[in-house]
Structure 1
Amino acid sequence: MRGGRGGAGSVGRGERDTVAGGARLYEAARAVVDDHGRAVEAIRAALKPIHDAAVKRELDAIPVTRLQDVTEGRLRLGSVEKSSLRTVGSVLDAGPYRLRQIPGVGQRTVDQMLAAARRLSEAVHESVAVHIDVDHPEPSTTALVMALHVLVEAGPDARRAVDKATVLVERLGLLLTDARPAAGRFRMLLAAQEKKTRALAAVAEIRSLMDEAERAGLPGLFAQASVDLLRAPESDVAAWVDFELRSAEYYSLLAEISGHLSDAAAAEGFLPDEIAERVRTQRLDDAHRRVSLRGYQAFGARFALAQRKVILGDEMGLGKTIQAIAVLAHLAAEGQSHFLVVCPASVLVNWTREIEARSALRVTVLHGPDRHHAFADWKGRGGVAVTTFDALRGFPSPGGGEVGLLVVDEAHFVKNPNAKRSQAVALWAERCGRALFMTGTPMENRVVEFRDLVRMLDEGVAASLGERDALAGSVAFRKAVAPVYLRRNQEDVLTELPSLQQTDEWEELSTSDEEAYRDAVRAGNFMAMRRAAYMGPEKSAKLDRLREIVQEAGENGQKTVVFSYFKDVLAVVKESLAAEITDGAPVFGPLTGSVPAGRRQQIVDDFAGASGPAVLLAQIQAAGVGLNLQAASVVVICEPQIKPTLEHQAVARAHRMGQVRPVRVHRLLAIGGVDERMVKMLETKTRLFDAYARRSAVAEASPDAVDVSDTELARRIVEEEQVRLGMREDGMTEERLTAAE
């Protein structure tokens, strides 16, 4: 037979082409794996000197007497303590010869000392976490940030490519070896019958793998991944800027590569073994996801999938929204088509933006006068619908299996079973096969309310939560709620804490907000436009969100500082907080330019000295310089600032050396108006040019030198808003544009 394809001893062009194509796919896959390996090794090489220095600092701080603890008191260190060797680090540096020179120290003591010191050194190596100081970059940390930038920038697609490539390299490597005789006509003729048979079988498998890879788009994925993995940052400054914008992703990657992951039991919420094991084995598909997960976040998503109806109660700042999106993306990959997110109106826009940015899922907003038309559209086309608690009551509840997942954010809003919003959520939860309730408020501290929330998900678990024998925090309580409840705290799961987490809180103006804003635009009053969202406190969307943030911080025992440029905004905030939500938590301030410097410091000291949660109100230009606000771990900025340096300086008052918790910054922004225009106009400057400026001694000495003209910015925004709203007026005075209050 010549050129035939059917005989065991023949090989045609088709077989040869298949082997050649398989070899090309193998090389492409291996290139991705190798490129990723080099990127990982670059990170490890950059990390090693920083980690070693951190270990040395730690060992140099451990007194030599700790060696007795390691040996259970068997070591006699009297002579050593009298020498110049005061720390465990100095003992290791000294080595056996120098230790032997200490009077009264024999070889046995030297051996015991060094063995104990090495045990402590190993423990420190395992536990020391590297912290990247963004305010004091050094060559070593710059090298690490630049190495991390490559993998962070490559993103989840590169990770997906590496995972697929690793499997292909392993499978194709063996098959290509077996198929080698089929690569040439004469090789096949000379091969033994057994090798010929094995070669043709391997060719068939290679062809199948190539078809499968083509359908999955792997050649394109591999090519793009290799490009991304070889792309270095434009400059060290660009890498640092990116680190500031998404430090959590950098720290997540650093923890994974360094092996310094959080304690497994803490990351798994101290769940019973049988539940934790079931969750670990739950598959998590990332095909529709555009964000990488930290280990504890992946576990949280798997918990929701494995247990079907659960409450995710992670502390604020641990990424509950990202975990919910991971669940949605997985279920979409499995073929589910309809999902519903229910949340307070204050976070509806944020949910929409997060889903669009971090997944490939389609989003439909069910809110406002057209919500019923939007509901019908969602029913027909599918995707993720996002609505509010109040709007939910107006929609017909689904049939069984119709909605793949119900997500309820700020679930403590529905803890009262007699409230209509709670009844609506309970009905939807009953009709949906899966439900994910989310709350950063530690509900387990209120057993009665917690039980009512759990009852919507699992009657049996709710019935087991008696008030006497299920005290919050007890072993019995944790075991009873484990099937439906997962909570992790920052200090337990973030070994390398992102020191600064920034969140833009986009709000949709209420009707009264919109009226006040239109009046300000009509008058050409730029400063009135900026504070219009607070002028109707009883219906203020920004104020509603601010109260929620302060409430949640208080529930978690955290102090909050609230910044605004405007005195009257701070007055509105103070009245609202004092009247409604602080539950006895004191409200200090406001700190303004008219408060004498000595009095300002006294207010700050009182705020820091308050036991438990507290709130400090401060005018951003008055409190941004010269005060230490590190008692606060939550910062709220009421409106965007014309000068980004004002925000940087204000946040730096709380986020500075000595801060033992990460600082979470919330910027309250209104969509479709002055806030959005200011953010867009200043975006490039804030992220890049200002980052250069903050690393420039000249610019730090004169921060105003790099800010755009206040007057020009204000004029442009007012004119554009008047055009947008159909009320353009000429002849605005410069005084009107720049008047502060």
Structure 2
Amino acid sequence: MAHTADLTSDTEPAKAEGEPPEATPLRPGRAARAIVSDGRAVHDAIEAVLAAPEESREVARRAYTVVRDQLVTGELDRMPVDRLRELVRGRRVTFAPVSDAGLDTVGAVLTAGTEGLGRVARVRRRTAKRIMAAAWQMRESVEESIRVRIEPDARTPEQTALIAALRRYERTRPPVMKGPDPSALASELGRHLGPAARGASRGRMLLTFSKRKRQEARDALAELDATLSSKKVTAARKRLSRAESVLERAQKTPRATRLWSDYLARPVAYNALLIEVGGLDPVKEAGQGFLPADIAEQVRVLPLDQSLLKTSLRGYQAFGARFALVQERVILGDEMGLGKTMQSLAAMCHLAAKGATHFLVVCPASVVVNWTREVERHTLLEARRVHGPGEKREAAQQEWAATGGVAITTFEALRAMPEDLDVSVAMMVVDEAHYVKNPNALRTQAVSEWAALSRRVLFLTGTPMENKVREFRVLVGHLRPEVAGNLDIADGSLDGTRFRETVAPVYLRRNQEDVLSELPPRLETQEWVALEGSTLRAYRKAVLAGNFMAMRRAAYDPGTVKGSPKLRRLVEIVGEAADGRRKVVVFSYFRDVLETVTQVLGSERDGVPGVHVVGPLTGDISPTDRQAMVDEFTATKGPAVLVSQIQAGGVGLNIQAASVIIIAEPQLTPSIEEQAIARAHRMGQVRRVDVHRLLCGDSVDERVLELLADKREAFDEYARRSDLANAAPDAVDTGSETELRRRIVAAEQKRLKVA
């Protein structure tokens, strides 16, 4: 902007001849006021853009508080007033007058207030105050314990408003004004605006008697004019325009149906936002796996470079990635569903950002496709499948060696990979690492050899121990032999505290209940039925023959609903789920049982009308086709059933679309059932997960549950809590599956008096 006005005083000295002419100072008036107005507009616009994330966060926080208070109020309105008895201090208080007055719940007492209680006959004012103090204490307790979960089946207006607020916060949280930090420009404009406003006003200049102040005003006005005319402000105006457009779109709230559809498509993202705005981060010690303070601090202070990640990490996930980087050779034993894959990807991305080029992932064939998808979906790294026929695999392996990236291979293919391959593996990740617990197995030896060649090795397993704790020693031995040696205590005593201290450098475990506050509950039901008719005859025949496998599936022998009590109950459960428009996964060990279930559910006579059946998903199906089945199941509108072999569908697949799980028969290894259930009950699940175990009374099912009781207890004590609970390392040995089968068959033959 050109300005010709002059505010110089007659007394100011003239310029010496030859000095460069100065820019013409600005006079107070309309032009000067326009400059100040423009400067203030740019300044305020930048401030508004910078403040938008916090403002939208506060809106989301208020929406969260409304939903939380609604839940708290509902809980208190159901809570009998007698619950306050233990909280009232002082002399004994009789609650009968309060209840007789209709204030029979804690919520009613809070609504009445001290004045309302004081008007109740036989309730003195001092007593009313004590009752009221107890009621507020109870409210605080409920408020601390209540879990706010977004319920897609309820869809209350308050929850819809919460989703809308979270969506708005998500869209404004990242810097919407791209490029250089605009706060510095806002500060610069802010410094000039005050004095420049004085220099733009004739009246204010006349009232300014100090010559220095008048000059400061002139200088500020000139500097403001120069700043507004600069290239940086010209660029900032364009960025401001785009940012304001983004904010305007973020303010628009879609229809409720679209909001809920977006939530169901991206529940993990929404629940991460909910945790943030609600201040629901898990307890620090739980998120750090209750590691010793010195190790936890070393891990915590490592700056994690997430520039190559496309997805945000939860706090406990970032800690897990740091743990793998700091300790270098470790087992990540998080409970299934907590995102172990994501944590390993974060560790690889950190190393790649620092210059590392080659990474190796070893996993079961069934999850190669899933690993490839996860690398492409969550990172900027290149995924390379080193798997398949010989020539194709060798070509992929050579390409990986030459150009780098994340090589994804199987345990079997790893054995064929030459050890002299000219690569430096920055990190080796072994998924489902409990597959290499047998030191005599060829795949175990191959993993051990490659692990010895890699500086950093990360084992992923939610079930590090199934039969014996010595198996855990094998896993540790691949990584840190010196730690494994310390687990071999000569006197056979290794209590929980000493165990945690010993394995802390190599083992990190977190449980769902400790770190996933948004995870819906899991309800387990044992569905007991009785063998009868043809199924009973088939069962007796199997016991007589000592055929353990036939005993386990005798309840499905005829293959008809009428003759099979388990099938009848299964169809009933699927029907109830279909009525609630819920999706079901049926797991069984046996393929013929899966075929029977598929046939029955799809039949016009015995099936469930309107339910779409996918499967059977078995071990013979390729990993690509398995994922395609899960995708079909997930995409189905309305009720659907996925019928799956428990070993094939219970590993590596994410089936959060299902909220009902049916286990056709008890499994001999508790972790197999846990893995299968965790396919649905994991991060991203938005509904309560109902688990139905189909069991026959007076049968092999009862014997399996009895003999595995100790085994499940050992699994819970060790695998869940990283704690042996005063057990010796080998005290939890429940024997091999062959021995279990023999004992169960013998027990049933004795019960039925069969030779």
Do structure 1's residue 414 and structure 2's residue 436 form an aligned pair?
yes
Q: One-letter code of the match for 1:249?
A: A
CA distance in 2, matches of 1:458, 1:580: 43
Report whether the alignment pairs 1:70 with 2:90. no
C-alpha contact (below 8 Å) 1:79/1:103 kept by paired residues: no
Question: TM-score with structure 1 length normalisation?
Answer: 0.61
| Residue 249 of structure 1: aligned partner | 269
User: Which residue of structure 2 lines up, in the alignment, with residue 54 of structure 1?
Assistant: 71
Alignment counterpart, residue 449 of structure 1, candidates 456, 461, 471: 471
Matched, 1:458 2:472: no
After superposition, the Cα gap between the structure-2 partners of 1:22 and 1:32, relative to the gap in structure 1 and judged at 3 Å, is same
- Partners of 1:118 and 1:89 lie apart in 2 by 10
| Correspondence list, 1:439-518, <5 A | 439-443=461-465, 446-466=468-488, 474-497=496-519
Amino acid at match of 2:103: L
1:123 to 2:123 alignment: no
> Does 2:148 align with 1:148?
no
Distance in 2 between the 1:483 and 1:22 partners? Answer: 57
8 Å contact kept, 1:447–1:471: no
Greater displacement, 174-183 / 81-90: 174-183
Give the Å deviation of 1:334: 2.2
Q: 1:230-280 deviations in whole A, cap 9, x for unaligned?
A: 264653222222222222222221121111233332222222222222222
Instruction: Name the CA shift for 1:484/1:196 in 2 (closer, same or farther; >3 Å).
Output: farther
- Whole-Å separation in 2 of the counterparts to 1:183 and 1:240: 51
Cα distance in 2 between the residues matched to 1:644 and 1:593:
28
Structure 2 residue identity aligned to 1:263: V
* Residue 56 of structure 1, CA deviation: 0.8
- 1:45 paired with 2:62, answer yes
Distance in 2 between the 1:77 and 1:281 partners?
A: 55
SS of corresponding position for 1:386: strand
- Structure 1 residues 424, 655: closer, same or farther in 2, change over 3 A? closer
Task: Measure the CA separation in 1 of the matches of 2:558 and 2:319.
Answer: 43
1: distance between equivalents of 2:273 and 2:558? 40
Q: Could you tell me how far apart the structure 2 residues matched to 1:300 and 1:249 are?
A: 19
- Kindly state the Cα deviation for residue 453 of structure 1 after the two structures are TM-superposed: 0.5
Deviation at 1:438, TM superposition (A): 0.4
Matches of 1:644 and 1:67 in 2, distance apart? Answer: 48
1:537-556 alignment runs, 5 A limit: none
Per the TM alignment, residue 349 of structure 1 is displaced from its structure 2 partner at its CA by 0.8
Q: 1:332 aligns with which of 313, 336, 352?
A: 352
Distance 1:654 1:329 in 2: 36
2:153 counterpart of 1:139: no
Contact 1:443/1:450 (8 A) holds in 2:
yes
Q: Aligned-pair distance for 1:287?
A: 1.4
Task: Summarize the Cα distance change of 1:625–1:389 in structure 2 as closer, same or farther, 3 Å threshold.
Answer: same
Out of 314, 338, 341, the position equivalent to 1:321 is 341
Q: Which amino acid aligns with 1:443?
A: M
Q: Give the equivalent residue in structure 2 for 1:527.
A: none
| CA apart distance, 1:440 | 1.7
How far, CA to CA, are the matches of 1:330 and 1:351 in structure 2?
18
Taking the aligned partners of 1:231 and 1:471, their CA distance within structure 2 comes to 62
- Unpaired segments ≥5 residues, structure 2: 1-18, 25-36, 201-210, 222-231, 528-541, 575-586, 612-625, 644-656, 663-673, 682-755
The aligned counterpart of 1:739 is: none
- Specify the alignment match of 1:654 in structure 2: 660
Contact 1:589 1:603 in 2 (8 A): no
Return the offset for 1:80.
5.0
1:74-223 matched pairs, under 5 angstroms: 75-80=92-97, 82-83=99-100, 84-152=102-170, 154=171, 159-161=173-175, 168=181, 174=187, 223=243
Counterpart for residue 33 of structure 1: 50
SS of the residue corresponding to residue 249 of structure 1 reads helix
- 1:648 is displaced (CA, Å) by 7.2
Alignment partners' CA distance in 1, 2:241 and 2:608: 47
1:259 aligns with 2:279: yes
> How far apart, CA to CA, are the structure 1 residues paired with 2:241 and 2:441?
50
Distance 1:581 1:329 in 2: 48
Distance 1:444 1:601, change over 3 A: closer
Counterpart code for 1:441: T
Q: Does the CA-based 8 Å contact 1:399-1:431 persist in structure 2?
A: no
Displacement, 1:345?
A: 1.0
Give the secondary-structure state (helix, strand or coil) at the position aligned to 1:443: coil
**Residue pair 1:447, 1:472 contacting (<8 A) in 2 also:** no
User: Which whole-Å CA distance do the structure 2 matches of 1:292 and 1:11 have between them?
Assistant: 51
**Equivalent position of 2:315 in the other structure:** 295
Counterpart of 2:381 (choices 361, 374, 380) is: 361
Q: Deviations over 1:476-505 (max 9, x none)?
A: 2122212221112222222111579xxxxx
Task: Give the direction of change, closer, same or farther, for the CA distance of 1:119–1:246 in structure 2 (3 Å limit).
Answer: same
Aligned partner of 1:529 in structure 2 is none
The question of whether the paired residues in 1 share the 8 Å contact of 2:177 and 2:239 is answered with no
Q: Deviations over 1:152-208 (max 9, x none)?
A: 5x4xxx65537999x946655556656889999x99x97899999999xxxxxxxxx
1:612-649 per-position Cα deviation (integer Å, ceiling 9, x unaligned): x987853344665799xxxxxxxx99674696434179
- 2:638 corresponding residue in structure 1: 645
Pairwise CA distance, 1:460: 2.7
Deviations 1:715-736 (A, max 9, x none): xxxxxxxxxxxxxxxxxxxxxx
Secondary structure, aligned partner of 2:152? coil
User: What residue number does 1:371 align with?
Assistant: 393
For the aligned residues, what is the CA RMSD?
5.5
Partner amino acid for 1:451? R
Paired with 2:424 and 2:217, the residues of 1 have a C-alpha distance of: 54
CA deviation map 1:502-549 (0-9, x unaligned): xxxxxxxxxxxxxxxxxxxxxxxxxxxxxxxxxxxxxxxxxxxxxxxx
Shift of 1:603: 5.7
Q: Aligned partner of 1:320: which letter? A: K
Q: Does 1:341 align with 2:361?
A: yes
The change in CA–CA distance for 1:234 and 1:78 in structure 2 (over 3 A counts) is closer
CA deviation after TM superposition for structure 1 residue 350, in Å: 0.6
Q: 1:600 to 1:250 in 2, by over 3 A?
A: same
C-alpha displacement of 1:665 = 5.4
With over 3 angstroms needed to count, the CA separation of the structure-2 counterparts of 1:82 and 1:364, relative to structure 1, is closer
- Which whole-Å CA distance do the structure 2 matches of 1:363 and 1:287 have between them? 17
Is the Cα–Cα contact under 8 Å of residues 81 and 95 in structure 2 kept in the other structure?
no
Structure 1 residues 168 and 278, CA gap change in structure 2 (3 angstroms): farther
Deviation at residue 406 of structure 1 after TM alignment = 1.2
Q: Which amino acid aligns with 2:107?
A: G
Do 2:386 and 2:407's aligned partners in 1 also have CA atoms closer than 8 Å? yes
Q: Which has the higher contact order (CA 8 A, sep 6+)?
A: 2
Specify the SS of the correspondent of 1:133.
coil
Bigger drift between 472-481 and 394-403 goes to: 394-403
Write the distance in 2 (CA, Å) between the matches of 1:278 and 1:373: 41
**What is residue 733 of structure 2 aligned with on the other side?**
none
CA drift at 1:139: 2.4
TM superposition shift of 1:390: 1.6
Contact between 1:178 and 1:195, CA under 8 Å: does it hold in 2?
no
Residue identity opposite 2:288 in structure 1:
E
What is the Cα deviation at residue 357 of structure 1?
A: 1.0
Distance 1:557 1:66, change over 3 A: closer
Percentage identity across paired residues of the two chains = 38
Q: Structure 1, residues 640-688: CA drift from partner, whole Å, max 9, x if none?
A: 46964341799777279xxx99975579xxxxxxxxxxxxxxxxxxxxx
Mapped contact 1:624–1:646 kept (Cα < 8 A): no
Q: How many residues align?
A: 556
CA distance in 2, matches of 1:625, 1:236: 29
Partner residue in 1 for 2:406: 384
Amino acid at match of 2:67: I
CA shift, 1:422, in A, is 1.8
